[in-house]
Chains A and B, each alone.
Chain A
Amino acid sequence: MTAYAIRRLLGAIPTLFVIITLAFFMMRAAPGGPFDMERRLPPEIEANLKAAYDLDKPLIQQYAIYLSKAVQGDFGPSFKNKDFTVAELIGNGLPVSAKLGLWAMGLALLIGISLGIWAALRQNHWQDYSVMTVAMLGITIPTFVTAPLLTLALGMYGITLFGLEFTLPVGGWNGGAWRNMVLPVTVLALPQIAIIARLMRGAMVEVLRANYIRTARAKGLSAGRIVLAHALRAAALPLISYLGPGLAALLTGSLVVEQIFGLPGIGRYFVQGALNRDYTLVMGVVICYASLIIVLNFLADIAYAILDPRVRLK
């Protein structure tokens, strides 16, 4: 296992290299540059700026410089947010996005798996149909619709639970207070709940038809024991494949949710960086996202092997 892990992580280096290279040259192929504005800068200032950021050198040399610095962990300054380095921007934003994403995914797994199993056990009954219909809604309704609706319901009017009235803040991070997290986490989790419930139901329906489930029933086991001990592990496999990329997307934040709730995550950097031709910032988030995908996919493969002993890691 350790040797496998080492080999996989070593294998990630060329992958990252290819991603960096592609991202670097594609970004530069896009027209315009970081200092193009509606009002043109005086040529000498622009030349100075470009010289300061090495943009006057041939492209291939810039690439070499970027690569050698990146290897040392220096991702350069942001072209637009001039007071910050890319590392600082990501370092401040990622924990916010990751915290939201983890909570959202945790919530989604808990609810999604339960709903999926329940639907599978009541296959083709009204419970199944209603869970699947609601799940379809969860997938199709975009977050920019659910976010304002939930804000209206829970933030503006408030709800009363056990005689206590809750009114949640409609935005802001507030150092990650739970009251501030409820709405964005819920909005992020809703589509995930839907996807996970559907995946879980499909896999569970399939597994419940397997011969070994019949054996388990013939042993006189209760339905709960059959699901937990005999069916769940096999049924979780499709979910694991989804979770690798799914979790990476969630952890790196969502532009829409962060904008609506005014959260200082890194979701917005993807879009802003690309629009502003903030080369270093885009490269930074690409590397961050790619590394995360690689690590999570690796973890998914490990989880796969743990869940299914027939899988041998090669």
Chain B
Amino acid sequence: MAKEISTQKELDEFLEGYHVLDQDYELIDIPTRLDHDEVVPSSSFMHDVWVRFKSNKGALIGGAIILLFIILSFVCPMLSHYSFDAVNTAEQSMAPRIPGLEWISWFNGQGGIRQYTGEFANAYHYFGTDVLGRDLWVRCWEGCRISLFVAGTAVLVNVFIGIVYGMISGYFGGIVDSIMQRFQEVVNSIPTLVILTLLLLIMKPGLYTIIVALILTEWIGMARVTRAQVLKIKEEEFILASKTLGASGFFIIFKKVLPNIFGQIIIMAMFSIPNAIFYEAFLAMVGLGVPAPQASLGSLINDGFKSILVTPYLVIIPVVILGILMLSFNLLADGLRDAFDPKMKEM
């Protein structure tokens, strides 16, 4: 080991005797063209987001499946010559039968209560029929549409309420914030389960009741995220600059704060859609779903469950659709989160 240098004098002596030799350094040959200036095109934030999103296979698959399901849920009930509420006891509980796939034992139409014989020899119920002889293929897609509609509407309204509540609470602060926070805290302490059941007791079970129930329970998360984001953005220097230039509070909120928290809100909304779909199914399972003959994924599962031992496909098919739908939404939401906020990736 070299001699230790502790005083200035020693350092001076050391430097005096130190000579740089040629072999001390070597040139690493990197062909740099100093005459050529590479121009990297600037890309906007949204473009970056898109590029990151595109590279995420799971999110793309999720998005594609959701799109497919949306299209199917609109097109299938229209194209099929069966109707979602046409009761026909002669076609009671028929097993799934899909043309071309009859070699697969699941789809050959065997095993139901009524068989594909006589006048139904050429009939095809892709997903079979339920106990009242209604075509499950049509009902599944009808139900898928209703579930998506319920979830979509609830989340849209939630985003609106959450943004307004969170912005007011976060931007103005002080006593307003305190009161709003305490209120939110108390509402948040009531289990969703209790709110939902009680609300559905007071209102009549139905599509819009479920939407109201979802709004009442889910807005808090949105408001909390918005508030946290607003609190963060509020301290940024560009807000101060805007204020110094004399911008009104209204202008700052809508032109400066809102665009900056938009990504977070989209992520949050995407995550709450599967949640809403789940709660809709949950309500149907406890007997508070959409009234018959309407169908939602939840009510289909609930109906099918009653005959699970005899005709398990009545519950398996809607359950699988629900599972795939929720999985796709989660994958899409994960992808969007990583795209908007790559720092969160490891979370």
A binds B: no
